[in-house]
Amino acid sequence: MKALVMHRYKQLSYEEVPEPKIASERDLIVKVKAAAICGSDVHGFDGSTGRRKPPVIMGHEASGEIVAIGNGVSGFAMGDRVTFDSTIYCGSCYYCRRGLVNLCDNRRVLGVSCEEYRQDGCFAEYVRIPDHIAYRLPEGLSFVDASLTEPAAVAAHAMSITPIELNDTMAVVGTGLIGLLLIQFLKSAASGRVIAIDTDEKRLAMARSLGADMAINPASGTTADEIREITQGLGADRVFEAVGASAPIQTALEVVRKGGSLTLIGNVSPKIELPLQSVVTRQITLFGSCAISGEYPAVLDMMLRNKIDLDPLISAVAPLSEGQSWFDRLYNREPGLLKVVLEP
């Protein structure tokens, strides 16, 4: 089969590699129809995360069609259209038994090669997955749209672990893909205002078009004042940070009210500066949101019912063979590019 292999950082080769085979009775072989490039893939492209060591086939946001089934699989059939979780979880550890599959002690992430394990991913014609991470696609949902289920579920998970109350004011710091998806979920599921915060005016305009009630550029230096003005001097009740760097986290803490909460989703930087006294003396609750834990069915249903608008988020659909070019363009932060989907 053809696959996009990273043999060296910043160098991808579209080449022939062995097809994956059924290795256990619960395995599925999926013919990949669409595989989206995640921001974490782009950061792994230059080795900065340390979690994509060459050689590796990256990619964990995908959809496709089942072409082979292990003897122990039930509930799926040849030809089924599916998407799948990015995390392969064991199902039997302390966390899995409590439904916290995203925290599995034995988790492996598709398209990741780190010190602990190597798991080739979806930038290939075929991928092997265990059946328990697969989800059948509803009729009417395209493969390209379905490839965004994984990032959409990441955004949904962040919302699901945050204690949102009636009429809470919510701010989303960072309007990349996750932030823009999260804004849509918040508008769909919550009753309060949703505020978008970003330094990119085009992304802020997109946030408004997708439902944000207010959009603020922190470069103005008046972000916290503007939010306090509409919240009786309090600040935002719930804040979500979808970048993962010191400056946007500082902004998030400046706009959250005393006793409020900050949910951290972004993880671009392994370490950040945290204004500890501001957190402690204002009794801010910090939530770390990791991956996905059961949100796929709800997200797929909402996507099918057009509760989430994906069209503005997909910048390009291109052949997998052009992967190097699109990685280069994303890595160089070409203006206007958001989500690129590759088709084997």
Interval 146-197: pLDDT, tens: 999 999 999 999 999 999 999 999 999 999 999 999 999 999 999 999 999 9
Residue 309 CB neighbours (<10 A): 14
b/e per residue, 132-147, with b = 16+ CB within 10 A? bbbbebeeebebbbbb
Length, in residues, of the chain: 344
Rounded alpha-carbon distances, angstroms, from residue 341 to 193, 285, 327: 32, 36, 11
Q: Please write the tens of the pLDDT for every residue from 269-313.
A: 788 999 999 999 999 999 999 999 999 999 999 999 999 999 999
Q: Are residues 247 and 313 in the same domain?
A: no
Distance CA 233, CA 152 (A): 33
From start to end of the chain, where are the E strands?
2-8, 11-16, 27-36, 61-69, 81-84, 87-88, 108-109, 112-113, 118-119, 126-130, 134-136, 170-173, 194-197, 214-216, 236-241, 256-264, 285-288, 314-319, 339-343
Q: Are residues 239 and 301 in the same domain?
A: no
Please check whether residue 91 lies inside any domain of the structure: yes
Please check whether residue 195 lies inside any domain of the structure: yes
Please check whether residue 328 lies inside any domain of the structure: yes
Please check whether residue 156 lies inside any domain of the structure: no
Q: Are residues 146 and 167 in the same domain?
A: no
CA nearest 292: which of 109, 64, 29?
109
Under a CB-based contact definition with an 8 Å cutoff, are residues 17 and 57 in contact? yes
Under a CB-based contact definition with an 8 Å cutoff, are residues 212 and 173 in contact? no
Expressed as residue numbers, the domain containing 190 is 162-288
Positive or negative: CA dihedral 113, 161, 266, 329: positive
Please check whether residue 27 lies inside any domain of the structure: yes
Q: Are residues 218 and 279 in the same domain?
A: yes
Annotate 37-69 with DSSP letters as a single string.
PPHHHHHHTTTSSSSBPSSB----EEEEEEEEE
Q: Are residues 126 and 217 in the same domain?
A: no
Please check whether residue 253 lies inside any domain of the structure: yes
Rounded to the nearest 10°, the torsion over CA 67, 29, 296, 157 is -160
Q: Are residues 17 and 92 in the same domain?
A: yes
What pLDDT was estimated at residue 135?
A: 98
Please check whether residue 144 lies inside any domain of the structure: yes
Q: Please write the tens of the pLDDT for every residue from 99-133.
A: 999 999 999 999 999 989 999 999 999 999 999 99
What pLDDT was estimated at residue 214?
A: 97
Tokens of 265: 């989703």
Please check whether residue 111 lies inside any domain of the structure: yes
Domain end call among 288, 309, 326: 288
Q: pTM for the full model?
A: 0.96
Domain end call among 288, 310, 334: 288
The number of domains in the chain is 2
Q: Are residues 300 and 229 in the same domain?
A: no
Q: Are residues 284 and 297 in the same domain?
A: no
Q: Does residue 49 have a pLDDT over 90?
A: no
Which CATH number goes with the domain that contains 219?
A: 3.40.50.720
Distance CA 318, CA 27 (A): 29
Q: Are residues 30 and 138 in the same domain?
A: yes
Domain end call among 249, 273, 288: 288
Q: Are residues 320 and 267 in the same domain?
A: no
Q: Are residues 38 and 127 in the same domain?
A: yes
Distance CA 203, CA 336 (A): 9
Distance CA 71, CA 63 (A): 22
Which CATH number goes with the domain that contains 68?
A: 3.90.180.10
Q: Are residues 135 and 174 in the same domain?
A: no
